[in-house]
Amino acid sequence: MGIGNISPPETLLGSLDIFVFSLIAGLLIYWFFFRKKPEPVLDLKTFPAVPPPIRETSFIEKMKKTNRNVVVFYGSQTGTAEEFANRLAKDAHRYGMKGMATDPEEYDMSELSRLKEIPNSMAVFCMATYGEGDPTDNAQEFYDWMQGTDDDLEGVNFAVFGLGNKTYEHFNATGKYTDKRFAELGGKRVFDLGLGDDDSNLEEDFISWKEQFWPAVCEFFGVEATGEESSIRQFELVVHNDINMNQVYTGEMGRLKSFQTQKPPFDSKNLFLAPVTVNRKLNRGGNRHLMHIELDVMDSKIRYDAGDHVAVYPTNDAAVVSRIGERLGVDLDTVISLKNLDEESNKKHPFPCPSTYRTALTHYLDINNTPRKNVLYELSQYTSDPQEQENMRKMASASPEGKALYQSWVLDSERNILLLPQLQARYYSIASSNKVHPTSIHICAVVIEYTTKTGRVYKGVATNWLKNKEVTENGHKHTVPMYVRRSQFRLPFKPSNPVIMTGPGTGIAPFVGFIQERAWQKEQGKDVGETILYFGCRHKNEDFLYQQELEEFERAGVLTQLNVAFSRDQEHKIYVQHLLKKNKEQLWKLIHSNNAHIYVCGDARNMARDVHTAFYEIAEEVGGLTHTQAVDYFKKLMTKGRYLQDVWS
């Protein structure tokens, strides 16, 4: 176990693997078992019910009560921004300051103007950007407040680190807006805006920014580093030897027993267990597994629109979890709580507690993720071998040599470590229309599985988990914890507007929903404009996804044009951008004269860029625009909501 996938017994380990394995095993035993005495467990049934404490909604008052002067807010969708915020808050004590990481959704953000009441105070924002430049779910209200407020923030010190991806058109839009808006409202920028790029190495960008940020803070406030080291993970293990199992979490993200008693509305803290009614393989050949899954949401009151995303919460492989238990020599069904001893932390437990070891490893910990550099640095503090300590600290640094070592030894090899942030939701574009399937949500996905350079077999957690949600004849239905996330990826308000859809591979997912909806609109007697699809796959006889359905839509006149690029059915590869260029005159007329809406879904790093370029060239060759004019032309279409992307890297 430890840094490195749980590999088969015959796999040979290098000296560093063996060392780190031994190190982490020791640490786990320490963290999970080393304690003076198990705390006595109170029988809660013998005590009268105690009303829940009143939640503090004023972060200013909390800061005053706890003597803090640095507040780090995070807008986080997958947990990375939250982790960065916790690291910054923890770092503050090294400079004689005291910080706390805070979810903006939990506090009244209009109190920011009061931050000046606290001497030598500062607000830091770790803001991730989601989708088409949108804020994350937990930062939406804060974003709305920034847009509408005219509060005077003079005297409020701030700094912003943004988390984004350069393959997206609106790179780091939320971080940029937060930095710009606070300056407009009179805030004092302590340090320059940091722009993290997940297409490159977000961790490296954060470390590089942080290493310059703190010296700037020292200069701004006239403080000096204390030289004290910080450790983020400080937990006390409590073993519950006699506890009512009704008080134990079994995988819920929020309310205890919410899986047993399902109550709407359903969201990221209250998941709906949707039964799987269909799970079929889409491709007829090849070495990949592409699947179509249907989730029953009849009893949930969940509503969605074509183009929305479904968030599913996977679980880790039961066999891997069992092997971890065997390696550690623990009874996985032991009920435990991990109590956070770090008074700087805003979370009492790292995951819902009490739970069993099995539940924690199955539902809450991302045991397949690669360790971040701060974890390596912390582990290095326990390393007795000077050479190994040097290597771990080197990998944790921002030096070129350290970056290269981290890339090759950790990232390229897909090594992992047990002590990680929580297992996060996976988002899939919904492949159905609510007008046609009001009680069912469809998913189209490809199962992730490949061999790394070191011979380790890497399996995607969510897609392999979904693949195994087979529909049986015995009446038992597997369920998927899920909720719906709204998207701006929408069909035109007027059905008469033409639509041009480009989606290779599983990027076809939202367009299946769009086409279903256009068919429904036509049945309602509405004037439906041209509906054109550009789809790409490798081989016509292997992975032409939804071929039968698409060809039926074409015969019915719902799909005006079905253009398919089979990239590997001929000597020279043909992609969707080549077909776009082939039909350039027609496309330019639809876009420039007929108010067509353009949609792109799929790979952001290559396909979306190539499609961009194809449209630029069409504007230049047919529309007579210069390259600069063409780029500006399509940027304006994006601003107007006529060029929308649902892409991933």
Token pair 């297992």 is at which residue? 423
Q: Collapse the DSSP code of 608 into the 3-class scheme (helix H, G, I; strand E, B; otherwise coil) and give the result.
A: helix
Q: 359 labelled as ligand-binding? A: no
| Positive or negative: CA dihedral 60, 62, 64, 67 | negative
Q: 574 labelled as ligand-binding? A: yes
- Residue 628: what are its φ and ψ, rounded to 5°? -60, -45
Q: 170 labelled as ligand-binding? A: yes
Q: 198 labelled as ligand-binding? A: yes
Q: Checking DSSP bridges between strand 272-281 and strand 290-296, what pairing results, if any? A: antiparallel
- Residue 279: what are its φ and ψ, rounded to 5°? -145, 95
Q: 140 labelled as ligand-binding? A: no
Q: State the catalytic residue, choosing from 31, 209, 409, 648.
A: 648
Q: Using alpha carbons only, how large is the chain's radius of gyration in Å?
A: 26
Q: 129 labelled as ligand-binding? A: yes
Query: How far apart are the C-alpha atoms of 604 and 601, rounded to whole Å?
Result: 8
Q: 287 labelled as ligand-binding? A: no
Is 179 noted as a catalytic residue in this protein? no
Q: State the catalytic residue, choosing from 134, 205, 317, 646.
A: 646
DSSP 413: T
Return the number of other C-beta atoms located less than 10 Å from residue 528's C-beta. 23
Is 601 noted as a catalytic residue in this protein? yes
Q: 163 labelled as ligand-binding? A: yes
Q: 179 labelled as ligand-binding? A: no
Q: 173 labelled as ligand-binding? A: no
Q: 308 labelled as ligand-binding? A: no
Is 537 noted as a catalytic residue in this protein? no
Q: 357 labelled as ligand-binding? A: no
Q: 165 labelled as ligand-binding? A: yes
Which secondary-structure segment (H or E) carries 629?
A: helix 627-639
Specify the amino acid at residue 468: N
Q: Is the peptide bond before 438 cis (omega within 30 degrees of 0)?
A: no
Apex 225 CA angle, 219 and 229, nearest 5? 145
Q: 567 labelled as ligand-binding? A: yes
Distances (CA, A) of 473 to 293, 470, 476, 478, 524: 17, 10, 8, 12, 37
Return all residues near 422 (Cβ < 8 A) that are at least 6 apart: 79, 350, 351, 364, 365, 366
Q: 159 labelled as ligand-binding? A: no
Q: State the catalytic residue, choosing from 126, 353, 537, 601.
A: 601
Q: 171 labelled as ligand-binding? A: yes
Q: For 542-631, where are the E strands, in sequence order?
A: 561-566, 597-603
Is 648 noted as a catalytic residue in this protein? yes
Q: 26 labelled as ligand-binding? A: no
Return all residues near 570 (Cβ < 8 A) that are at least 6 apart: none
Q: State the catalytic residue, choosing from 300, 397, 429, 487.
A: 429
Q: 249 labelled as ligand-binding? A: no
- Known binding-site residues equal 76-81, 128-131, 163-172, 198, 288, 426-429, 444-446, 450, 460-463, 506, 567-568, 573-577, 610, 648
- Known binding-site residues for NADP(+) equal 288, 506, 567-568, 573-577, 610
Catalytically active residues, by annotation: 429, 601, 646, 648
- Known binding-site residues for FMN equal 76-81, 128-131, 163-172, 198
- Known binding-site residues for FAD equal 426-429, 444-446, 450, 460-463, 648
